[in-house]
Amino acid sequence: MPSVTYVEANGASHTVDVAVGENVMRGALYNGIEGIAGECGGAASCATCHCYVDPAWTEKVGGPADEVEEELLEATACPPTSASRLSCQIIMSDALDGLIVHLPERQF
Ligand code: FES
């Protein structure tokens, strides 16, 4: 099973297995990782699953946020950057084994 490393804003790092086909937001929730809320359940309508994709992984996750994501990312609690993505929109695959995402200080 591929793994994802979630790095909290305070530097704490958690590497967990996330099943192929599952999204990165749920991977955090299922493993009790603080820093991702996922209020809408992954429907791309809340932006409380904001994360910053490590630069080494930008292209592998499908590139930067598309227009729909960008619109939502304007409403995040922490300022979005060019690395910002909605973690619910990143679907795990074997190609993403080792993915690193950084979490914002807060989601609300
Ligand atoms: S969980 Fe709501 S936008 Fe990702």
- The pLDDT tens digits of the residues spanning 71-97 come to 999 999 999 999 999 999 999 999 999
In the chain, how many domains are there? 1
Structural domain contains residue 108: no
In a domain, 48, yes or no: yes
Asked whether residue 107 is assigned to any structural domain, the reply reads: no
The domain that holds 20 is classified in CATH as: 3.10.20.30
The answer to the question of residue 21 being in a domain is yes
Give the distance (Å) from ligand 1 centre to CA of residue 89: 8
The answer to the question of residue 86 being in a domain is: yes
| The pLDDT of residue 38 | 97
67, part of any domain = yes
Domain housing 75 = 3-102
Give the confidence band of 103 by pLDDT, cuts at 50, 70, 90: very high
pLDDT at 10: 96
* Ligand 1 proximity of 47 Cβ (cutoff 6 Å): yes
- Tell whether ligand 1 has an atom less than 6 A from the beta carbon of residue 42: yes
- 10-51 tens-digit pLDDT: 999 999 999 999 999 999 999 999 999 999 999 999 999 999
Q: What is the pTM of this model?
A: 0.96
Angle at 6 between CA 26 and CA 107, to 5 degrees: 65
**In a domain? residue 37:** yes
